[in-house]
């Protein structure tokens, strides 16, 4: 079941960043770069090790990941069931889709001041931003997936006497599974980005707050550690979700024509 | 094979299982009303193999869907085992023109799809194994639908219908998208299956030879609006010899009857 890692692809993907870091390091050492905003990669690496050692890196990362987990879980619990209901009732879509299209245009960050006014500066506004950021991709992809379920398969469900609940569980959800999963992936990466923004504005804890802290302290190396952490964590989350997709949907992995 | 012949003898004087009484169906579309079926009646005994033949567009699929309870007739009634058909039921299982398998389920899970008491693992296993055996797919139980050929996929669909434990199988042109040799093989398998399980079978087809190879009785329909032109008993012994004069004669007869002129 587990896909083997193709090392040549990993190598190709890593070649460009490694080259970039190498050139960056050389130019920094030769004194071409202003260390005030572009410290050498080795300096950033050193700071990273230090931050790991004194625990500040993990504290901020965990604070962010905890929010991400809560916010995302709440979103999934809201958006998926709602998406299933709306996806099945076509007429309902006419009622709400203009509103949704309107809301979708507003970036989550635009709501942050309102959320802060309404919810304070601690956890609530950040989680609210995450929910807002992830809701639309998850919801819209669920609606899309459910409303494009093959009516012929639904008819099989009818002919074989499925109860309405079984119909959702055994026909609609698996049919829409691929689409829902795409929504979850999009939603989670939206979440992660929106969270960093929210943390930068509310400036309490978390990776985003760490970036501002680095600016306030004039320590660009700390900023870079945070920025790279954001990128790498985002990447890891995406890889994990892709793997889960293969795991839960084995029929999708093999394409027609492939032999077992 | 002689047992199949006996089977047909045995069933001829049995109780009535399906009774179609004066069915009419009018479809209402944006272009107006279309009468698909008009005052259509026939009956089918328990254990009998009945085919419905007619040119395309004569409403044979609609008729089968009404018997299945997937569609409502405009007037008339269908009695199954004496009670009115008001919707799909546990006594009837449908095999559609396309296999309509669930791509996320394996062959064995697809076959188990309709099993009523799905929490009873023993029963599920028993029925699944039995169906897999009947349709000859034991070695493919773990395969996914996209790994199957058209004929195998349709076998899974038939297996799914059998595992549902219906009294009657309703098949809607199940072999029409298969190549000639696969079709012939599946026809043979269906006959064998009918012999082993003694199920009542109604099969819709536009292929006269198929009707003659398979059934004890064929309902010949005429189009626009669909109605029963003739109910023809096919009293030839199984397995049916397609080159025999009797077979040819029946075929000729139906051809004449099914002509598009009216």
Q: Measuring CA to CA, which residue among A87, A99, A91, A95 is closest to residue A139? A: A87
* pLDDT above 90 for A99: no
Tell me if A32 is assigned to some domain. Answer: no
Best mutation target among A1, A159, A260 (most B Cβ atoms within 10 Å) is A159
Q: Give the Cα separation of B35 and B62 in Å (integer).
A: 11
Tell me if A114 is assigned to some domain. Answer: yes
Phi, psi of B170 (to 5 degrees): -115, 115
Tell me if A216 is assigned to some domain. Answer: yes
The tens digit of pLDDT for each residue in B115-131 reads 888 888 998 999 999 88
Number of independent structural domains in chain A: 1
Cα dihedral A193→A252→A161→B17 (10° resolution): 170
The tens digit of pLDDT for each residue in B19-70 reads 888 888 888 888 888 888 888 998 999 999 999 998 887 888 999 999 999 9
What percent of chain B has pLDDT above 70? 93
Which domains does chain B show, CATH number per domain? 1-85+200-262 (3.40.50.300)
Mean pLDDT of B144-169: 91
Tell me if A241 is assigned to some domain. Answer: yes
Q: What is the pLDDT of residue A251?
A: 67
Tell me if A12 is assigned to some domain. Answer: no
Return all residues near A144 (Cβ < 8 A) that are at least 6 apart: A87, A176, A179
CB-side neighbour CA atoms (13 Å) of B249 = 7
B114 and A177 in contact by Cβ < 8 A?
Answer: no
Q: What is the pLDDT of residue B9?
A: 46
Mean pLDDT of B240-260: 82
The tens digit of pLDDT for each residue in A208-258 reads 888 888 888 888 888 899 999 999 999 998 888 888 887 777 666 544 443
CATH code: domain of residue A142: 1.10.3720.10
DSSP element (H, E) containing B49: strand B49-53
Closest Cα in chain A, distance from residue B99 (Å): 10
* pLDDT above 60 for A80: yes
Domain that holds residue A166: 50-249
- What ipTM was predicted for this assembly? 0.86
- Band (pLDDT 50/70/90 cuts) for residue B251 is confident
Does any CB of chain A come closer than 8 Å to the CB of residue B102? yes
For residue B104, give the nearest of A155, A158, A251 by CB distance.
A251
Return all residues near A59 (Cβ < 8 A) that are at least 6 apart: A205
| Residue indicated by tokens 């942050």 | A112
The tens digit of pLDDT for each residue in A123-178 reads 888 889 889 999 999 999 999 899 889 999 999 999 999 998 999 899 998 888 88
Tell me if A9 is assigned to some domain. Answer: no
Phi, psi of B98 (to 5 degrees): -95, 155
Over chain B, what is the mean pLDDT? 86
Q: What residues of B are in contact with residue A170 (Cβ under 8 Å)?
A: 113
Return all residues near B203 (Cβ < 8 A) that are at least 6 apart: B49, B50, B51, B52, B171, B174, B190, B210, B211, B214, B215
The tens digit of pLDDT for each residue in B186-241 reads 898 899 889 888 899 999 998 888 998 899 999 988 887 888 888 888 888 888 88
Q: Measuring CA to CA, which residue among B62, B74, B63, B72 is closest to residue B20? A: B63
Exposed/middle/buried for residue A55 (C-beta within 10 Å: 0-12, 13-18, 19+)? exposed
């Amino acid at each position: 079941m587990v896909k083997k890692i193709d090392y040549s692809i990993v190598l190709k993907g890593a070649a460009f960043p490694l080259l970039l870091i190498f050139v960056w390091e050389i130019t920094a050492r030769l004194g071409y770069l202003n260390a005030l905003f572009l410290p050498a990669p080795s300096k950033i690496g050193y700071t990273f090790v230090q931050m790991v050692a004194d625990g500040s890196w993990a504290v901020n990362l965990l604070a962010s990941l905890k929010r991400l987990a809560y916010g995302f879980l709440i979103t999934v619990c809201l958006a998926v069931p709602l998406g299933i209901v709306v996806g099945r009732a076509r007429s309902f879509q006419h009622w709400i889709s203009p509103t949704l299209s309107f809301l979708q245009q507003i970036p989550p960050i635009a709501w942050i001041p309102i959320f802060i006014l309404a919810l304070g500066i601690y956890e609530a506004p950040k989680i609210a931003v995450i929910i807002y950021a992830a809701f639309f991709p998850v919801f819209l992809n669920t609606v899309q997936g459910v409303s494009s379920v093959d009516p012929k398969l639904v008819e099989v469900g009818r002919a074989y006497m499925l109860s309405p609940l079984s119909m959702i569980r055994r026909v609609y959800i698996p049919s829409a599974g691929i689409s829902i999963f795409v929504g979850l992936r999009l939603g989670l990466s939206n979440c992660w980005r929106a969270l960093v923004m929210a943390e930068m504005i509310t400036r309490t804890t978390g990776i985003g707050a760490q970036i501002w802290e680095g600016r306030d302290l004039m320590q660009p190396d700390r900023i870079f550690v945070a920025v790279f952490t954001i990128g790498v964590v985002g990447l890891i989350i995406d890889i994990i979700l892709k793997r889960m997709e293969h795991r839960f949907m084995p029929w999708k992995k093999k394409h027609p024509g492939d032999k077992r | 094979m002689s047992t199949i012949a006996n089977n047909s003898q045995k069933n001829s004087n049995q109780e009535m299982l399906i009774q179609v009484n004066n069915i009419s169906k009018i479809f209402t579309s944006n272009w107006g009303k279309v009468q698909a079926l008009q005052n259509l009646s026939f009956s089918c005994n328990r254990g009998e193999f009945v085919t419905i033949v007619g040119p395309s567009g004569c409403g044979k699929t609609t008729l089968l869907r009404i018997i299945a309870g997937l569609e409502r007739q405009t007037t008339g009634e269908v009695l199954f085992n004496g009670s009115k058909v008001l919707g799909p039921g546990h006594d009837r299982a449908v095999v559609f023109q396309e296999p309509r398998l669930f791509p996320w389920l394996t062959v064995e899970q697809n076959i188990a799809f309709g099993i009523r008491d799905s929490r009873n693992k023993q029963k599920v296993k028993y029925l699944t194994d039995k169906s897999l055996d009947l349709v000859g797919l034991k070695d493919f139980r773990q395969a996914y639908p996209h790994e199957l050929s058209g004929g195998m996929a349709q076998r899974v669909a038939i297996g799914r219908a059998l595992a549902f434990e219906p009294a009657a199988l309703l098949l809607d042109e199940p072999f029409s998208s298969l190549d000639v040799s696969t079709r012939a093989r599946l026809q043979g398998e269906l006959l064998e299956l009918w012999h082993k399980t003694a199920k009542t079978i109604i099969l819709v087809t536009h292929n006269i030879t198929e009707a003659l190879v398979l059934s004890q009785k064929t309902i010949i329909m005429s189009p626009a609006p669909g109605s029963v032109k003739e109910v023809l008993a096919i009293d030839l012994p199984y397995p049916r010899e397609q080159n025999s004069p009797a077979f040819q004669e029946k075929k000729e007869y139906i051809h004449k009857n099914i002509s598009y002129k009216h």
